[in-house]
Structure 1
Amino acid sequence: MTKKVLIMTQNFYPVIGSAGNRMKNIFQLLNDQKGMEVHVLTTEPAYPNKSMYSNDDLWDDEAVNRETEKINRIPIKNKRFSNHIFSRLFFYVEIMYRFFLKLFELKKNKYDYILVSTPPIFIVLSAFIGRRLFGAKLILEVRDLWPDSLLGVKAFDHPFIIRIFRYLEKKMYRNADYIVINSKGFEDHIVSKLNKRKPIIYLPNGPRINELVKDKVKKEEFSVIYAGNLGLAQDVNRLKSIAILLNNHNIRFDVLGYGIKTNEFKTLLRENKLNNVHIHEPTTRKKSLNIIKNSDLGIAFLNDEEVFSTVLPGKILDYMTCQTPIVAGVKGTAADMITSNKTGFVFDSDSIDAMINKILELKNDKQQVDMLEENCYYTITNRFVWENNIDKLVEIIK
């Protein structure tokens, strides 16, 4: 008997970033299983702005492009993704309402499982309605601890509304049948909110088999890369300092970034004439991995708020996928991942000079870099390949 699954998510192909790529991989790999049929309920791509998705180059996965009957995209009014908190909340409520209406149209499909991805938390509320409509079991996929991450970026701290959010967070965890996390750092927090033990499955991000870099091509020019969001959680001021110092040392620095701080970073480049720093426009995952592959080291940053010590950023796994060792200003889960697998070096996020000194040391130590690259390849292939890890989710459904 075929098991029918509905994935509910705001982020889905071709949306750039690890969230959209994660949900695409789950969609494809579950559909590849015998006895499974998987559909998606998502929004039209809009992050970081809707207009960029008029570029056909971003729709580069023909296998997904052919699955139009399985993908329901809800139109949204916002042409740009606003960072103003109240605008963002209205945006999320609109998505919740539109998802709610669409679920009634999909009632005839009689889904056995709903897999809903959070944040935002509001989509989960519409999934609760869907579970009742379909008589389905609910798999809650947690990609971020919310509202703690909201407080961590200091975007919003209204005490009354935060109390409401915390109440909804607790209800969300307690009403799920299964919980899937992409970072082990989330588990203790979630368990503390539960009133009884329930299955929590660790399903990390990672590469598909065909994305693995087996032979790193060496080039003459030494280069460093930052790939990922330029937002409130990533401590862009420290990234600016890194850019200036690398430029002063005549080291090429590629920035493959997007997000609300991108224009601020571009202004720094113009005003300081940082000719060794090259910023790239958002592009497909395939092209992004190719840029990372051609870099010698990867930079990662998160700000010092405690909630971010639980996060395992997708960029760190992308660096390891491309055999690009990491120099990072992170702590907690991400720091443990890098140091325990010897795939790079970790510093306090404000230790900019120490990070630069390590980069200069590695620039002149090919043997050490080669060893770090091998560790990246070994770690990613043995623990983070999607085709291997998807079995954890298949086991739940079957």
Structure 2
Amino acid sequence: MTKKVLIMTQNFYPVIGSAGNRMKNIFQLLNKNNIETRVLTIEPSYPNKNLYKNKEFWDDEELNNETKNIIRVPIKNKKFSSSIFSRLFFYLEIMVRFIVTLWKIRKEKFDYILVSTPPIFIVFSAFIGKFLTKSKVILEVRDLWPDSLLGVKAFDSRLTIRFFRYLERRMYQKADAIVINSKGFEKHITDKIRHAEKPIVYIPNGPRENEITSNREFDREFSVVYTGNIGLAQDIDRLKAIAKSLHEHNIVFNVIGYGIKAGDFADYLEKNNLIGVRVYKPTTRKKSLDLIRQSNIAIAFLNDEGVFSTVLPGKIIDYITCKTPVVAGVKGTAAELINNNKVGFAFESRDVDKMIHKIIELKQDSNKLKELAENCEKVVKQEFLWETNISKLIGIIESK
């Protein structure tokens, strides 16, 4: 009998960023592997609903023509806010609207609900859906919450954080299976669920086979690239320092950035007349990957808080997918990936001078850049292809 799955997620095609792309891949590949899959999501809104009025983001005709299996609920919020309280109300609105939708489709039985977190509140609507549709729940953890909230120093109410930790523990305990996108999450989660026996499966972000290419076409100028979120976790002060240093060394720096600190970064560039930094508006995944392929080196940052040592940023996987060596200010899981597979160099995030020195060194060493690029291609094909890794999720779904 064909298995049926309902995916519940805030982020889904055409939303830019790792989360939206991840859920799109899961949806498409489960259906291609004869698992009848639907999605319950919201209207695209991150980082701004108006962004998706541009038709270039709707670049997958297969999904554009999909009307039955993609359920999009409307939301009132027009823009992703930097205010923690505004975000909480935003997440609560999503939770309520998801519960209403689940009630409407309650007669449609699912074998599994796959729910993606954060935000955590969507998970609790999934547990209500579990009761309504007589299904099991696969919890997909993309970030440790509320630790990540503390890591960006966005909230400091001890009583509220204690309550959030209780919700987090219950979330892990009530799930029938757990999927993580970073190996660094596993110990944290097992400590929370203690001796409960349930599968915890590592499925990283990654490319589809058609996104991998052996060809790279460089501009005449040596260039460095940064793509993705510029928010509280990405350490904007060090990104500014990198931008200034690259400008001083006459190295082109391409940035495709979005997020709550993107405006601050743009103001800094204008104030300091950093004309060597080229800022691009948020664009499609395909165009972002094209820019990465045209760049000689890519950079990534995370701030120093301990929780971020467990994270494997999606942008790093995108960089190595494009065979673009990485120079990063990260530690823990991300640093191990970069250093162990020799796809670049990882430094303590405060070591901006060492990062700049390494970029200048690599600029003069084309053979080393070629070696790193070849290592990128090798590790992506071995560990990160979606067409291969989806089998782990299928194994959970078909096990019962």
After TM superposition, the score normalised by the length of structure 2 is: 0.98
**Which secondary structure does the structure 1 equivalent of 2:172 belong to?**
helix
* Superposition deviation, residue 230 in structure 1: 0.2
Asked if 1:161 corresponds to 2:196, the answer is: no
Which whole-Å deviations, capped at 9, do the CAs of 1:355-396 have from their partners, x for residues lacking one? 101000000000000000000000001110000000000111
Structure 2: distance between partners of 1:248 and 1:234 = 22
The one-letter code matched in structure 2 to 1:54 is K
Which residue of 2 is the match for residue 238 of structure 1? 238
How many angstroms does 1:221 deviate by? Answer: 1.1
- Amino acid paired to 2:361: E
Cross-structure match for 2:110: 111
Q: State the partner residue of 2:201.
A: 201
Matched, 1:20 2:20: yes
The answer for the alignment partner of 2:186 in structure 1 is: 187
Q: Distance in 2 between matches of 1:98 and 1:245?
A: 47
Tell me if structure 2 keeps the 8 A contact 1:116–1:141. yes
The 8 Å contact of residues 228 and 315 in structure 2, kept in 1 or not, is answered as: yes
CA distance in 2 between partners of 1:364 and 1:15 (Å): 38
TM-superposed CA distance for 1:213, in Å, is 2.1
Amino acid at match of 1:47: Y
Letter in 2 for 1:41: L
Deviates most, 62-71 or 305-314: 62-71
Distance 1:282 1:216 in 2: 22
SS at match of 2:216: coil
Q: Do the aligned residues in 1 keep the contact of 2:218 with 2:293 (CA within 8 Å)?
A: no
Task: Give SS of 1:138's match.
Answer: strand
**Cα distance in 2 for residues equivalent to 1:227 and 1:246:** 16
Which aligned pairs between 1:359-398 and structure 2 lie closer than 5 A?
359-398=359-398
CA apart distance, 1:275: 1.1
| Aligned 1:47-66 pairs, distance under 5 A | 47-66=46-65
1:63 to partner: Cα distance: 1.1
Give percent identity, aligned residues only: 63
Contact 2:6 2:113 (8 Å CA) reproduced:
yes
CA drift of 1:109 comes to 1.5
Which residue is equivalent to 1:288?
A: 288
Query: Which residue is equivalent to 1:97?
Result: 96
Contact preservation (8 Å) 1:301, 1:330:
yes
3-state DSSP class of the match of 1:69?
A: coil
Q: Secondary structure at the match of 1:388?
A: helix
- Deviation of the 1:217 alpha carbon: 2.4
Q: Does 1:139 align with 2:138?
A: yes
Tell me the TM-score normalized by structure 1.
0.99
Is 1:330 aligned with 2:330?
yes
Residue correspondence of structure 1 range 180-329 to structure 2 within 5 A = 180-195=179-194, 196-329=196-329
Deviation at 1:220, TM superposition (A): 2.4
Indicate yes or no: 2:79 matched with 1:80: yes
Amino acid at match of 1:328: A
The 3-state SS of whatever aligns with 2:40 is strand
The gaps in structure 1 that reach 5 residues or longer are none
- What residue identity is the alignment partner of 1:168? L
Which whole-Å CA distance do the structure 2 matches of 1:90 and 1:306 have between them? 27
2:68 partner SS: helix
Aligned residue in 1 for 2:172? 173
Q: Aligned equivalents of 1:341 and 1:106: distance in 2?
A: 46
Matches of 1:194 and 1:345 in 2, distance apart?
A: 35
Q: State the Cα deviation string for residues 168-225 of structure 1 (Å, max 9, x = none).
A: 0000000000000000000000000004131000000000000012122244210000
CA–CA distance in structure 1, aligned partners of residues 90 and 256 of structure 2: 27
Please list the CA deviations of residues 128-168 of structure 1 after superposition, one character each: whole Å capped at 9, or x if unmatched: 01001111010000000000000000001111111110000
CA contact (8 A) 2:218 2:295 kept: no
3-state SS of paired residue (1:93): helix
Partner of 1:37: 36
Provide, for residues 52-92 of structure 1, a one-character-per-residue CA deviation record: whole Å limited to 9, x for no partner: 11111111111111112101111000111111111111111
Distance 1:130 1:237 in 2: 43
Amino acid at match of 1:208: R
The Cα of 1:107 is off from its aligned counterpart by 1.2
Question: Structure 2 vs 1, CA of residues 372 and 191 (structure 1 numbering), >3 Å: closer, same or farther?
Answer: same
Letter in 1 for 2:104: E
What is the CA–CA distance in structure 2 between the aligned matches of 1:220 and 1:54, rounded to whole Å? Answer: 34
C-alpha distance in 1, partners of 2:354/2:178? 39
CA RMSD of aligned residues (A): 0.7
Question: How many angstroms apart in 1 are the aligned matches of 2:138 and 2:156?
Answer: 29
In structure 2, list runs of 5 or more residues that go unmatched: none
SS class of match (1:312): coil
Indicate whether 1:7 and 2:7 are aligned.
yes
Which residue identity lines up with residue 101 of structure 2 in the other structure?
K
Q: C-alpha distance in 2, partners of 1:219/1:74? A: 43
Residues 261-270 or 333-342, more deviating: 261-270
- Name the counterpart of 2:354: 354
State the secondary structure of the residue aligned to 1:109. Answer: coil
